Amino acid sequence: MTHILKPPFTLIAPAKLNLFLHINGRRDDGYHELETLFTFLEFGDDLTFTVTHEPDINVIGDTNGITLTDNLIYKAARLLQQHCGCQQGATIELLKRLPMGGGVGGGSSDAATTLLALNKLWECDLSLEELAKLGVTLGADVPVFINGHTAIAHGIGEQLENVELPQSWFCVIHPGEHVSTAKIFTHPDLKRDTPKLKVDWQTENLGNDCEPLVKKLCPEVEKVLQWLLKYAPSKMTGTGACCFAEFSTQAQAQQVLAQLPDKWTGFVASSATLSPAHKALNAHFAMK
């Protein structure tokens, strides 16, 4: 019989957008040097954590048939448990809203949110820096979700420089295609020679170096980008397949979403300088 230690606790695993993504070169270890601007959205997966006496870790819900030991949520929980020598366990229920292979960080966000939540619930008391060092072993995007602040990332994505941006509303469209990050980053045609940003990066011509290749390999992405162009400048996030346009009001973004062809899916969400996962954690544990 499983003994529950605390009431279930639900936390959002937010989406991210890459407002630009430049690839500066390829390292000897196969990773890429890049520069990218991450922002969070007030939209994402929901993870519900139930802490147990027994050390077992279970992941239930919308797991898309991924085996337990291959699931990033499980890997994150087990990594933290082993690092801290924690004797407690957890059942983690996933409500999936973010598309897999969409470039909005779903898997990385789920992993980071698991580390953030269980660090508190298991009373591990690791700092964000310590959690980020664990997280980068799970994926290069995990540290930005641990950091929880709009930031420019350098290196392989782990060197973060917090920035402040005005609030915007985004219409995010998924073309129904899965784009493999590994396939894009190993493709010989990927652009890998964009110069490093200057100090005043906001005056530079910013784009996504993955976009030309993804449009070539996945024509549906190009169709979404062209469709969005009718309403606002369009961009692709990460290695795709999601594309987005930025608006100053929720109503403008919703009007675009309302015109969306049936073959695609999408959502509207506000940007968030501080990750909604961090805001919820701060509010919940400030009451303790």
Query: Which pLDDT score is estimated for 31?
Result: 83
Q: Are residue 118 and residue 189 in the same domain, yes or no?
A: no
pLDDT tens-digit map of 225-271: 999 999 999 999 999 999 999 999 999 999 999 999 999 999 999 99
How would you classify the pairing of strands 57-61 and 89-95? parallel
Q: Same domain, yes or no, for 126 and 213?
A: no
Q: What is the pLDDT of residue 286?
A: 78
Partnered with residue 95 across adjacent β-strands are 46
Residues 14 and 134 placed together within one structural domain of the fold = yes
71 and 141 in a single domain? The answer is yes
Helix (H), strand (E) at residue 156:
none
Pair 69, 188 in one domain: no
- Are 31 and 152 part of one and the same domain? yes
What CATH number is associated with residue 148?
3.30.230.10
pLDDT of residue 242: 97
pLDDT at residue 207 above 50?
A: yes
| Amino acid 62: pLDDT | 95
The catalytic residue among 16, 75, 215, 235 is 16
Q: Verify that 151 and 185 share a domain, yes or no.
A: no
| pLDDT computed for residue 256 by the predictor | 98
- For residue 9, the one-letter residue type is F
Domain membership of residue 147 (yes or no) is yes
Q: pTM of the predicted model, to two decimals?
A: 0.94
Whether residue 16 lies in the annotated active site:
yes
Residue showing tokens 């890998």: 192
Catalytic, out of 45, 141, 209, 215 = 141
Distance (Å, whole) CA 114 – CA 91 = 11
Task: Indicate if 16 and 57 belong to the same structural domain.
Answer: yes
Same domain, 117 and 61: yes
* 29 is annotated as an active-site residue: no
State mean pLDDT over 49-54: 95
